Amino acid sequence: MTTVAYRAAFFHCLRRPESLLDSAAVEYLDDGVLVVTKGCVAALGSASEMLPGLSTNVNVVDFSGKLIVPGFVDCHVHYPQLDIIASYGEQLLDWLEKYAFPQEQLFCDRAVAREAAEFFTDELLRNGKTSALVFATVHPQSVDAIFEAALKRNMRLIAGKVLMDRNCPADLSDTATTAYQQSKALIEKWHGRERLSYAITPRFALTSSEEQLAAAGRLATEYPDVYMHTHLAENRTEVGLIAKQFPWSRSYFEVYDRFDLVRARSVFAHCLHLDDKDLNTLSAKSAAMAFCPSSNLFLGSGLFDLRAARNAGIRVGAGSDVGGGTSLNMLHTLGDAYKVLQLQGQSLSAFEAFYLATLGGAVALDLGDKIGNFVAGKEADFVVLDDTATPMTRRRLGMAGSIAEKLFALMTLGDDRSVNATYVAGQKAYPAG
C-alpha cells in the first residue's frame, strides 16, 4: 500500500517562531491525521476533517495519545567519536590529542568504520534523528562506511572525509593533493545518490596548510552544491593559535573566507568567538552555523550567542557534536541550549527550540524544501514522542496546560525513552521489526 495515515497529536513549524505568541509560525493539532503517500507528506489536518475523506483501503496507524513532530536534524556530529563520548578532564586542543586523534586512527580499518557507522545510524534513529551533517575521519573508507549505513536506512545524511595535513599525527595526515583527489572521488561516488550529499570537510584551520585550504576552496568552487563543513572559533586558545598561524588574517573566520570556503551550503560549527564583521560576512555569504551547546559546556569552550546570530540574519541549526557533546539525544541538546542562553540573559522558547531541531536545522542545511515540517510534498521523516515514557515526564507533562508548556517540559526532562518510533521517508525505521 503506498498511502498510509497516522493519527496522533502533531506539532511542526511553518517558519521561525519569533516568540510563543507567534502562533502563525507553528501548527498544533491535538487530534490530527498525517497522510503519507510514496514516502512523502500528502496532507496534514484535524482528524475530524481528514478521516471522513480517507479511502477505506487506507490503513490508519493509531498513535493517539502520542505527539508526532518532524524528524530531528543534527547539524554537526562526528560518528567516529562515539567511543570517546564522556572522556574526562580536557579542553578542546588537549581533548583532541588525548582522545579524538587516537580514536580516529582506528578508522583506517574498514571493519571498525562499518561497525561504528551501523551503531551510529541506529543511535540517531533511536533518538529521533532522521538527518545529520557528519564528520568522518581522514580515511576515505570511513566515508564509504557512513554513507553505506545511511543508504541502507534511507536517511538524508551529509558527510565527508576530514582534511588535515599539519598539527596532527602522521597517520591521520593527508596532503593538499590527496585531500583534493580523495574528496573529488568521494563527491563523484556519493553526492546526490538517493538522499545522500557530500561535505568538503577541512577539520579546522589549525590542522590545514594554506595549500590544503586552497585545494578545499577550489573544490568548493567547482562543486557549489556540495556542502562545506568545518569548525570555527570554538575555543580561546585555538583562536590565539590561529592568529599566530595566519598572521595576515584579521580574524579566524577570515582565514576560511580568504580560501573561498564561505558560501551558501557552508556550515560552521560552534562560532563562539566572532565579531560583528565576521557575523555580517557570514550572513552576506549565506553561510550557516551549528549551535552545539552540550559540547560547548562539556569542553568548557564558551556560550553561543544566538541573539547575535539572529540579528545578523544567519541560519542556525542545532548540533550534538558528539564526542565533544555528551548526548545524541536532541531533547538533551535543546535543554542545554536553553541553559546556555539563560547564562547570557537570553531565552529560548520551546517553539524556537523545536524549530532549531527541525525546520531550522533543515533550513541551515539548505534542505528546507525537502524536510523539516509536514508541508505537503516534503519527505515524510517524523518522530513519535511519548510524554508518558518515564514517571517524571508522565507526572510533569500530565500537568502541562499548553503545547508550549508540554514541549518545554519535554526538552528539559525527556530523553531517548521519549522516542516511541522514528519514520524515515514514511517507513518505520525504529524500533526495528
Among residues 203 and 315, whose Cβ is nearest to ligand GUN?
Answer: 203
Phi first, then psi, for residue 414 (nearest 5°) are: -80, 170
> Among 324, 361, 414, 426, which residue sits at the site for ligand GUN (rule: CB under 6 A)?
324
Among residues 128 and 323, whose Cβ is nearest to ligand GUN?
Answer: 323
Instruction: 214-217: list long-range contacts, CB under 8 Å, 24+ apart.
Output: 214/176, 214/259, 215/163, 215/176, 215/177, 215/179, 215/180, 216/163, 216/179, 216/180, 216/183, 216/259, 216/261, 217/259, 217/260, 217/261
- Residue pair 220/287 in contact (Cβ under 8 Å)? The answer is no
| 201-260: contacts with ligand GUN (CB under 6 A) | 203-204, 231, 234
- Residue pair 131/70 in contact (Cβ under 8 Å)? The answer is no
Quick check: bond before 323 cis, omega within 30?
Answer: yes
Residue 208 interface partner, choices Zn ion, ligand GUN, none, CB cut-off 5-8 Å depending on type: none
Smallest separation, CB 398 to ligand GUN (Å): 38
Among residues 36 and 242, whose Cβ is nearest to Zn ion?
Answer: 242
Return the H-helix or E-strand segment holding 181. Answer: helix 176-190
Q: Which stretch binds Zn ion (CB under 5 A): 12-20, 25-33, 305-313, 318-326?
A: 318-326
Among residues 321 and 386, whose Cβ is nearest to Zn ion?
Answer: 321
Smallest separation, CB 136 to ligand GUN (Å): 11
Smallest separation, CB 403 to ligand GUN (Å): 33
Nearest CA-CA partner of 220 in 247, 242, 191, 240: 191
Site string for ligand GUN, 119-158 (x = CB under 6 A): ----------------------------------------
SS3 content of the chain, % helix, strand, coil (to 5): 45, 25, 35
Smallest separation, CB 53 to ligand GUN (Å): 49
Under the binding rule (CB under 6 A), the answer on residue 322 touching ligand GUN is no
Smallest separation, CB 271 to ligand GUN (Å): 12
Under the binding rule (CB under 5 A), the answer on residue 321 touching Zn ion is yes
Size of the site for ligand GUN (CB under 6 A): 11
Among residues 121 and 230, whose Cβ is nearest to Zn ion?
Answer: 230
Give the integer Cα–Cα distance in Å for 303 and 274. 12
- Within 10 angstroms of residue 376's Cβ, the number of other Cβ atoms is 11
Smallest separation, CB 203 to ligand GUN (Å): 5
Under the binding rule (CB under 6 A), the answer on residue 282 touching ligand GUN is no
- Residue pair 35/367 in contact (Cβ under 8 Å)? The answer is no
- Within 10 angstroms of residue 259's Cβ, the number of other Cβ atoms is 21
Smallest separation, CB 145 to ligand GUN (Å): 18
Among residues 229 and 231, whose Cβ is nearest to ligand GUN?
Answer: 231
Cα dihedral sign, 414-415-420-426? positive
Among residues 74 and 321, whose Cβ is nearest to Zn ion?
Answer: 321
- Residue pair 117/79 in contact (Cβ under 8 Å)? The answer is yes
Under the binding rule (CB under 6 A), the answer on residue 80 touching ligand GUN is no
Smallest separation, CB 159 to Zn ion (Å): 13
- Within 10 angstroms of residue 185's Cβ, the number of other Cβ atoms is 13
Give the number of residues written for the chain. 433
> Among 295, 320, 326, 393, which residue sits at the site for ligand GUN (rule: CB under 6 A)?
295
Smallest separation, CB 104 to Zn ion (Å): 12
Under the binding rule (CB under 6 A), the answer on residue 107 touching ligand GUN is no
Residue 234 interface partner, choices ligand GUN, Zn ion, none, CB cut-off 5-8 Å depending on type: ligand GUN
Give the integer Cα–Cα distance in Å for 108 and 78. 16
- Residue pair 172/104 in contact (Cβ under 8 Å)? The answer is yes
- Residue pair 113/364 in contact (Cβ under 8 Å)? The answer is no
Q: Which residues pair with 11 in a beta bridge?
A: 28
**List of residues contacting ligand GUN (CB under 6 A):** 78, 92, 96, 100, 203-204, 231, 234, 295, 321, 324
**List of residues contacting Zn ion (CB under 5 A):** 321
